[in-house]
C-alpha cells in the first residue's frame, strides 16, 4: 500500500537550500532513534535500537527476513505504537504525532495507485488532500513528472503502464509534496533485475536532486551497496553495524555481516607473529600466509575474511599460494565462479573475471590459489 503525505508542511514551501552540493529546494530532516523498542506480545521485534540519520542522508536498513526492518519503518511512519524509547525529528519527539501530521513521503512494494485516476491525478492527490491551490498543484505535478521522466504518460491510467512506470508514479506521488523524509519499503522488489538496477540509479540521482532524508528498506545487499550513503545491518531486532557501503563490504564487524553482505571466504587461523599491521597466520590446514589487517591481535585464533574476487588463480605453485582441488566451476558471464577444496582445509570460493586466456577448470583439477596481505580482513 502506498501512503502519501496529506498534511501540508510549511517548511516544504520555504525553499531552503539543500545540504552542501545537494538538493535544489528541500533540506532533509535529521532523524534520531533512541533505544527504540517494539514488542509483539513477548516477542521483541526492535530491541533498543539507536540510530542517527543525517539531514539529506540516504540510509538503508538491510537485513534478512524478520530482522525488524519494516517494524522500524512502521514506527517511524507512525503506523505502529512504540513500546519504549523515542524517535526525534530535528530534535523534537514525534511519538505523539499522528502519521498524517509527520509529513513523510512513503513508497511501498505494491504501487497501490488509484486505478481510476490518471497518472497526473494520482501524483496530484496528496496536494488535493492538503488543499493546495490548483496553480501550485499543476506546477508541482508537471515538475515532478518531468523529474521522473513521466511527462508523456500524464494522461494514462495505471493499467496502461508497465510495473516499472507504475512504481515511478508511486515515487512521484511520494515526493510531490517535497517531504523532508521519504520512507521506502522494498519499493523495487517486484521488478525484474534489469529494471530494478535502472531505477536504483534513477532513485540515487533523484535523491541528489531533492535532498530529502531517505530511509530505504531492502533485503537485497547489492541494492543496499549501490544506493546508500550508509547501511544499517539488522539482525533479530538489533542493529549490528552502521557504516558506509565500502566499509560494510570491506570491513564487516562480524561473521554475520561478512556473510550477509556479499560472498565470503572465512578462514580460521592462528596468529604466529605480528609486526605492525601485518601478521603471519597459519590456517587450520597448515597454510601460512600474511594478513595486513589493522585489527589483527598479536596472539590467538582469528577468523580471516577474503572476498572471492580477491583470490587469484595460478596454474602452478608460487610463493604464498595454496594448492587446492576444483570441486565445481561455473561460467557466470562476466565472471567464473570456482569452488576449490584446500588440502586438509576449507573450501574456497573464487570469482575471477572471464578472460580469453582462461579456460574453465575441470572438477578434480589441481589449482593454486593466492591472495595478498591487503586482501585479508580479520574479524573482530
Ligand X SMILES: Nc1ncnc2c1ncn2[C@@H]1O[C@H](COP(=O)(O)OP(=O)(O)OP(=O)(O)O)[C@@H](O)[C@H]1O
Residues in touch with ligand X (CB under 6 A):
40, 43, 45, 63, 65-71, 219
Residues 306/308/313/318 CA torsion (nearest 10 deg): 0
Q: What contacts 301, CB < 8 A, 6 or more positions away? A: 268, 269, 270, 271
CB 341 within 8 A of CB 325: yes
The x, y and z cell numbers of residue 111, run together, are: 504501487
Question: From the CB of 217, what's the least distance to ligand X, in Å?
Answer: 6
Question: From the CB of 187, what's the least distance to ligand X, in Å?
Answer: 13
Nearer to ligand X, 125 or 260 (CB): 260
Residues 126/128/132/138 CA torsion (nearest 10 deg): 90
Tell me if residue 317 falls in helix, strand or coil.
coil
The x, y and z cell numbers of residue 330, run together, are: 561455473
Closest CA to 46 of 79, 75, 68, 65: 68
Q: What is the DSSP letter of 3?
A: -
Phi, psi of 99 (to 5 degrees): -45, -50
Question: From the CB of 235, what's the least distance to ligand X, in Å?
Answer: 9
Nearer to ligand X, 45 or 120 (CB): 45
Question: From the CB of 226, what's the least distance to ligand X, in Å?
Answer: 18
Nearer to ligand X, 54 or 83 (CB): 83
Question: From the CB of 71, what's the least distance to ligand X, in Å?
Answer: 3
CB 166 within 8 A of CB 112: no
CB 9 within 8 A of CB 179: yes
Nearer to ligand X, 227 or 305 (CB): 227
Nearer to ligand X, 59 or 267 (CB): 59
Question: From the CB of 129, what's the least distance to ligand X, in Å?
Answer: 27
Nearer to ligand X, 22 or 219 (CB): 219
Amino acid at each position: 500500500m502506498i501512503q502519501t503525505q496529506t498534511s501540508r508542511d510549511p517548511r516544504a514551501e520555504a525553499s531552503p537550500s539543500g545540504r552542501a552540493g545537494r538538493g535544489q529546494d528541500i533540506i532533509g530532516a535529521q532523524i534520531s532513534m533512541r533505544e527504540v523498542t517494539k514488542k509483539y506480545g513477548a516477542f521483541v521485534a526492535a530491541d533498543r535500537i539507536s540510530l542517527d540519520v543525517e539531514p539529506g542522508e540516504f540510509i538503508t536498513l538491510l537485513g534478512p527476513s524478520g530482522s525488524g526492518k519494516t517494524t522500524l519503518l512502521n514506527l517511524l511512519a507512525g503506523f505502529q505504537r512504540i513500546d519504549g524509547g523515542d524517535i526525534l525529528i530535528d530534535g523534537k519527539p514525534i511519538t505523539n504525532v499522528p502519521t498524517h501530521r509527520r509529513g513523510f513521503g512513503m513508497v511501498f512494494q505494491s504501487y497501490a495507485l488509484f486505478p481510476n485516476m490518471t497518472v497526473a491525478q494520482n501524483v496530484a492527490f496528496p496536494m488535493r488532500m492538503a488543499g493546495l491551490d490548483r496553480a501550485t498543484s499543476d506546477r508541482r505535478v508537471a515538475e515532478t513528472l518531468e523529474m521522473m521522466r513521466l511527462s508523456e504518460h500524464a494522461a494514462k491510467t495505471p493499467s496502461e503502464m508497465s510495473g516499472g512506470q507504475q512504481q515511478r508514479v508511486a515515487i512521484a506521488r511520494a515526493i510531490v509534496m517535497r517531504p523532508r523524509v521519504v520512507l521506502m519499503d522494498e519499493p523495487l522488489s517486484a521488478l525484474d533485475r534489469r529494471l530494478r538496477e535502472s531505477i536504483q540509479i534513477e532513485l540515487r540521482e533523484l535523491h541528489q536532486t531533492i535532498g530529502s532524508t531517505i530511509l530505504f528498506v531492502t533485503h537485497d545487499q547489492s541494492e543496499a551497496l549501490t544506493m546508500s550513503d550508509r547501511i544499517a545491518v539488522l539482525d533479530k531486532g538489533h542493529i549490528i553495524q552502521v557504516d558506509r557501503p565500502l566499509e560494510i563490504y570491506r570491513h564487516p564487524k562480524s561473521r554475520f555481516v561478512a556473510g550477509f553482505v556479499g560472498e565470503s571466504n572465512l578462514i580460521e587461523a592462528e596468529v604466529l607473529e605480528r609486526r605492525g599491521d601485518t601478521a603471519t597466520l597459519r590456517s587450520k590446514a597448515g597454510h601460512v600466509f600474511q594478513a595486513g589487517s589493522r585489527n589483527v591481535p598479536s596472539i590467538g585464533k582469528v577468523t580471516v575474511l577474503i572476498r572471492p574476487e580477491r583470490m587469484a588463480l595460478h596454474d602452478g605453485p608460487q610463493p604464498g599460494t595454496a594448492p587446492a582441488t576444483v570441486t565445481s566451476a561455473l561460467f557466470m558471464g562476466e565472471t567464473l565462479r570456482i569452488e576449490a577444496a584446500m588440502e586438509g582445509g576449507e573450501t574456497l570460493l573464487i570469482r575471477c573475471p572471464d578472460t580469453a586466456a582462461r579456460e574453465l577448470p575441470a572438477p578434480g583439477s589441481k589449482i593454486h590459489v593466492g591472495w595478498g596481505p591487503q586482501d585479508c580482513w580479520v574479524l573482530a
